[in-house]
Amino acid sequence: FVQALSECAPVCPQFHLALQSGSDAVLRRMKRCYNTEQFRQAAARLRAAWPLAAFTTDVIVGFPGETEAQFEDTLSLVREVRYDSAFTFIYSKRAGTKAAQMPDPTPQEEKTERIQRLIALQTEITSEILSSQVGKRETVLVESVSARDEGWVGGKTPRGHMVNFPGNADLIGK
């Protein structure tokens, strides 16, 4: 798949890789069909084809039975992959799911503290990635006029980063 995709010139190098957890034990309890090594290999294949690929992800903190060590595995994998951004969630019970029946000894306060640590780490990584782009020229697909200043427009780079710059509505879609 990566080989075929890499041969398509107009592909934007922004990929959503739904991690969910950096712990194989938690992934098994979640009934995910991949493990962390397969996840690492997928990210490495994409980065080999697109060295400047941008990755986004979803991470669930506090899945029933998640230990501190398993959460640390998630932080470690987030550091390793270096996502451009992440959608982070504290696990919440869903009626009718198997997970809703699992014992969940982790207090809510601990889950909240964990997600705060994850968000802080991701904020740091995102800041480093965006700071490395300062001063570089980028292609931007203009999407809209700024709500704050009609003399500015906003759009996204091929990696999905939002950029604002001087311009007018004539640039939308270009």
Can you tell me the distance from the alpha carbon of 23 to that of 112, in angstroms, rounded to the nearest whole number? 18
Residue 73 has pLDDT above 80, yes or no: yes
HSE-CB at 108 with a 13 A cutoff on CA atoms is: 2
Q: Where does the pLDDT of residue 97 fall: very low under 50, low under 70, confident under 90, or very high at 90 and above?
A: confident
What sign does the dihedral 55-153-8-33 (CA atoms) show?
Answer: positive
Predicted confidence at residue 7, as pLDDT, reads: 83
Sheet with 54-61, strands from edge to edge, namely 14-16, 54-61, 85-90
Mean pLDDT lowest among 9-13, 21-25, 170-174? 9-13
Can you tell me the distance from the alpha carbon of 153 to that of 143, in angstroms, rounded to the nearest whole number? 8
Structure tokens at 81: 């992959």
Residue of 35, 37, 32, 78 lying closest to 56 (CA atoms): 78
Q: Are 79 and 121 contacting, i.e. CB atoms less than 8 angstroms apart?
A: yes
Can you tell me the distance from the alpha carbon of 12 to that of 50, in angstroms, rounded to the nearest whole number? 10
What mean pLDDT value characterizes the chain?
93
Predicted confidence at residue 114, as pLDDT, reads: 98
Residue 160 zone, left/alpha/beta (φ > 0; ψ -120 to 50; rest):
left
Cβ burial 62-90 (10 Å sphere, 16+ → b, else e):
bbbebeeebbebbbebbeebebbbbebee
pTM score, whole prediction = 0.89
